[in-house]
Amino acid sequence: MPDRRQPDSPTDDNPFAAPPEGRPDQPWQPRNGGGGGNGDGPKDSDGQRGPARWDPTDPIQRRARYALLAGMWGFFFGIFGIPSVGLLLGALALYWGISALRGKPAPATAEGAPAAPSGLDALGPAARPQRTAAVSGLVTASLAILLAFSSYAVQLAYKDFYVCRDDALTKSAELQCNTLLPDNLLGDVLKVRQ
């Protein structure tokens, strides 16, 4: 089979290729994202810097991500019947989501100087994914707390049934506890099966 190599072109941008002859080795440097600059993000046609990357050292961005994760896991724990963990994670997600959206005001450097934007507004165009994460965390946290409270409300409303079921020593005694449930959809869900 013939060799089908293409001749080397001067625009070849292979980062793993050896340097051209007569040129010394250079230390590795990260590429600039599309438009040059210091690598903070690509520039658009107007020369404006695009959204910055996620910065894990920024507490506002961290709290937005924590809110999303805690709210999501709190919702899952609420669905799978562990309301205490769901309530805890939902409360944490609410705290983190609200603190990410509000942010902490930056201290003024001089008297009468305009205050710098704070919270997610200080991120500029990079605030959109963080705001989405914080709002999603608030929504899932609200659902997790709602599931936990509804689970506790059902246990409180039908306490006699739960006490009877837990104290029953035989299966027939446990089945007798079904008489303490209402004759509706919730009663059918909670009913002891044969």
Quote the longest CA-to-CA distance of the chain: 93
24 occurs within a structural domain:
no
Q: What is the pLDDT of residue 53?
A: 66
118 occurs within a structural domain:
no
Q: What is the pLDDT of residue 121?
A: 67
The percentage of residues in the chain with a pLDDT greater than 90, rounded to a whole number, is 27
Q: How confident is the model at residue 36 (pLDDT cuts 50, 70, 90)?
A: very low
* Higher pLDDT among residues 76 and 6, named by residue: 76
Q: How confident is the model at residue 28 (pLDDT cuts 50, 70, 90)?
A: confident
* pLDDT per residue as tens digits for the range 39-94: 444 454 455 555 556 677 788 888 999 999 999 999 999 999 899 999 999 999 99
Three-state SS string over 142-191 comes to HHHHHHHHHHHHHHHHCHHHHHHHHHCCCHHHHHHHHHHCCCCHHHHHHC
Kindly state whether residues 98 and 144 are assigned to the same domain. Answer: yes
The total number of structural domains that make up the chain = 2
The whole-model pTM stands at 0.61
28 occurs within a structural domain:
no
Strand partners, 43: 49
Tell me what the pLDDT averaged over the chain comes to. Answer: 77
Whether 22 shows a pLDDT value over 50: the answer reads yes
Q: Under 8 Å CB-to-CB from 194, ≥6 apart: which residues?
A: 171, 175
* pLDDT per residue as tens digits for the range 86-127: 999 999 999 999 998 887 544 545 555 555 665 666 666 767
The answer to whether residues 104 and 118 touch, using CB atoms and an 8 Å cutoff, is yes
Q: What is the pLDDT of residue 188?
A: 78
36 occurs within a structural domain:
no
d(CA 58, CA 31): 24
State the DSSP string of 104-118.
Answer: -PPPPSSTTPPPPP-
Q: What is the pLDDT of residue 112?
A: 55
Kindly state whether residues 60 and 135 are assigned to the same domain. Answer: yes
Kindly state whether residues 71 and 140 are assigned to the same domain. Answer: yes
Residue 188 belongs to domain spanning: 158-194
Kindly state whether residues 136 and 97 are assigned to the same domain. Answer: yes
Q: What is the pLDDT of residue 162?
A: 87
* Higher pLDDT among residues 37 and 119, named by residue: 119
